[in-house]
Amino acid sequence: MLLEKIKSLAAQAQAENIQTRRHLHAHPELSYQEFETCKYVQAKLKEIGIPYTVIATTGVLGIIEGKNPNKRVIALRADMDALPILEENNIDYKSTKEGVMHACGHDVHTTILLGAAKILWSLRNEFEGTIKLLFQPGEEKNPGGASYMIRDGALQNPTPQGIIGLHVHPGLAYGKLSFREGRVMASADELYVSIKGPGGHAATPHQTVDTILVAAQLITSLKLLFQEIEILKILLYYLSVPYKVDILRM
């Protein structure tokens, strides 16, 4: 039975998958800088025997053809980039890059897709259709690596009838999965606000505009406005970062 074969192969690959995940966790790369991760994924696919191409600079597209490959096409997708976060965990596979960490689980996602790819490749003569493997760069940063992969033809020749993605969720009990068709989880957008006003002397504050106070009031008001919607996340970087908040002539 096919399901039992999948379970058996997954169990056999457990140690290898753990090693893969820990390697990726120890070597995180920021959005659109996943050059070593891209090479690692390529090496894994080559080792398995899966044909692949590099796409969108640091993305990888693999192809697994089963029996009657034109019958249907499904794509499996995983993101690969990390976040600009300092890891404080004391573990053997702690990030080796200061200030960069796989804090959103993309090391796990990439590992899962590589593990699934190995199983599907070994069973390719037991299912019909084609499976596209989408290893996506730049999920954490706009405009998103998916847009670049689509631009470069990742969903063409052949075009998938459906795409399956996944995300780890610590809030779920161990051993449980949740499924939903369509959009799942929040999408991060960037909001650029420039607050400008005349500066002046501290002895005459009434002749100036306190842009810091305005920025603080804006953030508070927006939070109150959107608190009943799923989430509003505003990142206020250091005031020295000009494209987030401009403090002029203060």
Residue 155, classified by CB atoms within 10 Å of its CB into exposed (0-12), middle (13-18) or buried (19+), is: middle
Burial 27-46 (b: 16+ CB within 10 A, else e): bbbbbbbbeebbebbbebbe
At residue 142, the pLDDT reads 86
The model's pTM = 0.81
- Point out the residues that are catalytic: 81, 139
Whether the link from the prior residue into 242 is cis, omega within 30° of 0, is: no
pLDDT tens, residue by residue, 207-223: 999 888 998 898 888 77
CB 135 within 8 A of CB 80: yes
Alpha-carbon gap, residue 182 to 202, rounded angstroms: 54
- Annotated domain spans of the chain: 2-165, 189-250
Confidence tier at 228 by pLDDT (50, 70, 90): low
**49-63, 84-98, 185-199: segment of lowest average pLDDT:** 185-199
Q: What angle do CA 37, 39, 45 make, to 5 degrees?
A: 105
pLDDT at 119 over 90: yes
The architecture (CATH level 2) of 2-165 comes to 3-Layer(aba) Sandwich (3.40)
pLDDT tens, residue by residue, 59-93: 999 999 999 999 999 999 999 999 999 999 999 99
At residue 222, the pLDDT reads 79
